[in-house]
Amino acid sequence: MLLQYEAIILVILVAVVIVAILAFILGIIVTRWYAKKKGWDDSWKNAIIVNLLWFIVSLIVNLALSIVLPIWSSIIALIINIILGAIIVMKIYDKEFGESLVFVIVVLIIIFIITIILMIIIIAILVVIVVASGAAGASGGSSGGETALGG
């Protein structure tokens, strides 16, 4: 039983890291797209800086809280990212706080929706892998070349 619990925790932690990396990459794309749509500087540098902040916050908060508060960890990370993101966007893009806040909320909502979908898919895939490997181990690990006489 303890081994199953450890496998579940491992699946969750691996999923959190994978999703954080994918969200970081997708976040850069979404940030550049929305900045361009608003007529702002859509440089890679600005998008990477903003998303690096979000990546670090999300990774730390989700790793720390995903086992204890799985649903709330993403919401807590989102709130922190909105506040810090608005300040960073205001400085980087030289915009007013209100305009930066709207920008951040729109981008983070898009990233948040994508992240939830990715998390569900990745956890499902990892669970299938863990269950399949557990089933293979439970079958005795026979290679199939043995006979009833032991040969």
Poorest-pLDDT segment among 66-70, 90-94, 125-129: 66-70
- Range in 10-19, 39-48, 80-89, 136-145 the model is least confident about: 136-145
Examine residue 146 and state whether it is found in any structural domain, yes or no. no
The total of structural domains in the chain comes to 1
Residue 100 maps to a domain: yes
Residue 35: closest CA among 79, 85, 81: 85
Q: At residue 112, does pLDDT exceed 50?
A: yes
> What range defines the domain where residue 15 resides?
2-126
**Cβ contact 14:119 at 8 Å:** no
As a whole number of angstroms, the distance between CA 124 and CA 128 comes to 6
Q: Is 78 inside any structural domain?
A: yes
**For the chain, what is the mean pLDDT?**
83
Which range, 14-28, 58-72, 125-139, is most confident? 14-28
Whether 23 contacts 111, CB under 8 Å: yes
Say if 65 falls within a structural domain. Answer: yes
67 lies in some domain: yes
What number is the average pLDDT over the span 42-49?
A: 95
Pick 16 or 61 by higher pLDDT: 61
Residue at 90 is within a domain? yes
Residue 131 resides in a domain = no
Query: Which amino acid is residue 115, in one-letter code?
Result: T
Alpha-helix residue ranges (DSSP H) falling in the chain: 2-37, 44-65, 70-93, 97-138
Residue 75 inside a domain? The answer is yes
Q: Which of 47, 46, 49, 58 is nearest to 21 (CA)?
A: 58
SS3 82: helix
47, 30 Cβ separation under 8 angstroms = no
